[in-house]
Structure 1
Amino acid sequence: MPGDDPDDALPRAPVDHPWFSRGYPRAERALERALGDARRAQNAQAWGRTLIIGAGTGLDVPALGEGTTDVVLLEPDATMRRTLSRRFPEWAIVGASAEAMPFTEGAFDTVISSLVLCSVGDVARGLEEITRVLVPGGQYLFLEHIANPHRLAGMVQQGIEPVWRCLGGGCRLTRDVETAVRQSPLTLTYCETVRAGGLLPVIRGRAVKSSGV
């Protein structure tokens, strides 16, 4: 709970990218110049008890809407958890993966991911877990980079992905996030492109858990 040592959180996740995790804070300013407005627009919609999966260094926290009543930060990487612990000692920090979250069914009103699904091992399983931990009618807000739909750029992504994955903390460039969400138990309410072209096109969207699930 708030103030807990994140390295004591259970279950532990087998994620360890110390060089990437230590270097990530140096890229935060550039990242926010590129995506800060989209992040704020996304997170302003958060309400109630909110879970941020793959919380990283905590860039999502300052952008949260005033309607949030409590925040839990899920982060499998130990180096990232130490950064979160220093920056946000008031919030619960949990060391677990998106595919195996140690929360009860219906524990959260909002779940948020920002540039996270690229490094989740089993995206379908992660989305099932997101559905499980949401209350009926709860929402999943996502900001994710995706596979480039243009043939040449997509081929470049595929070519460099093995090296990128090693250097980027397990990040995969060629994920089709929108399709994955559509195929999940969640209902997609909107999905829009916030950054087109280049190696990292980015989409933002919202999906909800049916009241009957």
Structure 2
Amino acid sequence: MSQTLLNGDLNVSRETLERLIKFEALFEQWSKRINLIAESTKGEVWQRHIEDSAQLLLIKPDMRHLIDIGSGGGFPGIVLACMLDDNKDSRVDLVESNRKKTAFLMAAKAQCARNANIHAKRIEDALSSLPTPQYVTARALAALPKLFELTHCHLSNGAVGLFHKGRGYREELEESHANWDFDLVIHRSRIDTESVILEIGNLKRK
């Protein structure tokens, strides 16, 4: 028997669904004590945050090794780790410098995402010491030019960026083109009609 996410388009095992439900409960518990997401979305954790993160596996079903930067409340990093946990070859590195959020991520790893590796460091310090993954993810972290500065060590070395962006993404792309060359695929969000996931490859500084 299997369960579904995203209106049935993403099939997951019962064990995976149980991990995600456990993560949601843990998130709700911790978010009462520390600020993990915007107050306005606290009543919509499953769709606005968990499913929004999970849709990356619809875009890249081959995903096995990723680095999530600025992981914060675990989106998308812990969600993806929960979904990849059955695969022994998977590796999910989460980078977060905030001590309270790191404590939450460690609790999430212990309870439902064993394949997650938590790096309690600044992004600039962590990325250079990690091996280049298949994908680098970031959600609600920084404008695209800043993301390029942070991740170019991997995106110029074969990794692909998957960055959640809102309605202002066109302006961020235009600003980025001033200093960077890159391949781009725009994926429309399954959760928010005004949002996209930007797929960035072959990043090169001009």
**What aligned pairs does 1:198-213 form with structure 2 within 5 A after superposition?**
201-209=194-202
AA in 2 matched with 1:22: I
The 8 Å contact of residues 111 and 141 in structure 1, kept in 2 or not, is answered as yes
Q: Does the 8 A contact of 2:50 with 2:75 survive in 1? A: no
**What is the deviation of 1:180?**
4.7
Deviations along 1:188-207, whole A, 9 cap, x unmatched? 321245335xxxx4221101
Deviations 1:16-65 (A, max 9, x none): xxx99813367455144235444322244262431001111213222356
Q: How far, CA to CA, are the matches of 1:98 and 1:21 in structure 2?
A: 25
Corresponding residue number in structure 2 for 1:187: 182
Asked if residue 40 in structure 1 is aligned to residue 54 in structure 2, the reply is yes
Query: What code does the residue aligned with 2:184 have?
Result: T
The reply on whether 1:77 has 2:98 as its aligned counterpart is yes
Amino acid at match of 2:136: V
The aligned counterpart of 1:178 is: 173
TM-score (norm 1): 0.57
Percent of paired sites with the same residue: 10
* Two-structure CA RMSD over aligned residues (Å): 3.7
SS at match of 1:88: helix
1:55 equivalent among 57, 71, 85? 71
Going by fraction, where is helix more abundant, 1 or 2? 2
Check the 8 A contact 1:108/1:135 in 2, yes or no.
no
Greater RCO structure (CA 8 Å; 6+ sep): 1
Moved over 6 A (4+): none
CA distance 1:22–1:107, change in 2 (3 Å): same
The answer to whether the 8 Å contact 1:107/1:135 transfers is no
Gaps in structure 2 of 5+ consecutive residues: 1-30
1:177 is aligned with what amino acid? E
Instruction: Give the letter for the 2:48 counterpart.
Output: A
Give the paired residue count: 160
In 1, the alpha carbon distance for the partners of 2:165 and 2:108 equals 23
